[in-house]
Amino acid sequence: MTFYQELQLNQAGSKNLLKKSETLKERLYHMWVYLVKIAVTMAFCFFFVSIFSILFGNENSIVGVVVLLCLMVFRNADLGIHTGQSTMLLALFFVIMTVCPHLANQFSPVLGMLLNIAALAVLILFGCHNPFMFNQSTLVLGYLLLYGYDVTGKSYQMRLVGMALGAALTCFVFYRNHKNRTYKSNLKDLIQEFDITSSRTKWQICQILCVPIVLCIAELCNMPRAMWAGIAAMSVILPSMEDMHYRVRKRIVGNIAGVICFTVLYFLLPSSIYAYIGILGGIGVGFSAQYGWQAVFNTFGALAIAAETYGLQGAVSLRVIQNVFGVVFALAFCVIFYWFMSKKKESDVTVHAE
């Protein structure tokens, strides 16, 4: 494996190479490549988001984050169907992420929930066909980030331009990287494969319904940063109930651990470098291959931003409450939904037998 190829590995791949190292020299080499990868990735991410902030305003730095997520994921991940159709779908996804979160913020929580359900239905049914590729962690996360950091007036006009540029970049990179691949499925097949009895479709429906409902309830309860609850719910909803239980535990424990670590750093470090705690969290995520540790370090960046608005105590309280509410509600929702679907299936079997 060349140096460049090793740089392309994810955290799990790099750590697997470290485990398989037979000599100290080999282990040190793989560790060096791993550190270089994290440093280059962090530098590129910082530079990319900074450019978007300069071009489209600091309030639209989140656009740079969303575009960066899409670029980094879809340069390798696909949608499982014909490349040309996938590229058009990606363009549609950007339109949805640009328009629908903004419109939903203009409506009441209930009407906004209905719009969010419709928007997420398109993103998930056509963009998250394979749950094990975790495209929802890009598309739904991007949607929720833009929803949570909404802007108006001139800033929204700049957001339109920034998202248009992001769509063009993502579609170009996606098509260039996937144009020579052969796919047996197309858009029509995705529609025909929708089956309410399959685990995949039930998982998709849970994502489509549960995440907007969580947002709506959080907003009706006047809880700031409602997107945190939505993101927490999205991240733990998986096709397997066993995997869901695992993620719920890790999300809650990791979030609390992250809050404690952030609080310690907040009191130990001078106020002039509070903003860099978020960067430290990004580095920690780069070293983390397991979901639990990712939950710990993701907390750093969220709290670093929220503490500026709500203070340390307010930000910490919101983070814990929103995350616990999001994951517990998602688990309860999916348990009830799967139970209802199993009862419906038994009823249908009984009717056919008679």
Other beta carbons within 10 angstroms of residue 110's beta carbon come to: 10
Residue scoring higher pLDDT (36 or 256): 256
Structure tokens belonging to residue 27:
């282990």
What's the pLDDT tens digit per position in 59-108?
A: 999 999 999 999 988 988 888 888 999 999 999 999 999 999 999 999 99
Q: Per-residue pLDDT for 347 more than 70? A: no
* Tokens (6 digits) for 258: 């992250």
Q: Which pLDDT score is estimated for 12? A: 66
Q: What is the pTM of this model?
A: 0.88
Q: How far apart are CA 174 and CA 70, in angstroms?
A: 10
- Give SS3 for 289: coil
The answer to whether 195 and 201 are in contact (CB under 8 A) is yes
The CA distance from 127 to 138, in Å, is: 10
Q: Which of 8-22, 34-48, 182-196, 315-329 has the highest mean pLDDT?
A: 315-329
Q: Looking at residue 115, what is its pLDDT?
A: 97
Average pLDDT of the chain to the nearest whole number: 87
- What pLDDT score does 67 carry? 94
Residue 167 pLDDT exceeds 60 = yes
Most confident among 251-255, 265-269, 282-286, 338-342 (mean pLDDT): 251-255
pLDDT category at 340 given cuts 50, 70, 90 is confident
For the record, the structure tokens of 147 come out as 């929803």
Q: Which residue has the higher pLDDT, 141 or 294?
A: 141
Range from 155-159, 164-168, 262-266 carrying the lowest mean pLDDT: 262-266
Residues of the chain with pLDDT > 70, as a percent, come to: 91
Model confidence at 283: pLDDT above 80 = no
Residue 352, pLDDT > 60, answer: no
Residue 5 tokens read as 């190829």
Kindly state the average pLDDT of the residues 171-190.
Answer: 89
Side chain identity at residue 246, one-letter code: Y
HSE at residue 212, side-chain half, CA atoms within 13 A, is 25
Give the per-residue pLDDT at 21. 80
Highest mean pLDDT among 210-219, 222-231, 263-272: 210-219
Locate 49 and state its tokens.
Answer: 């988001």
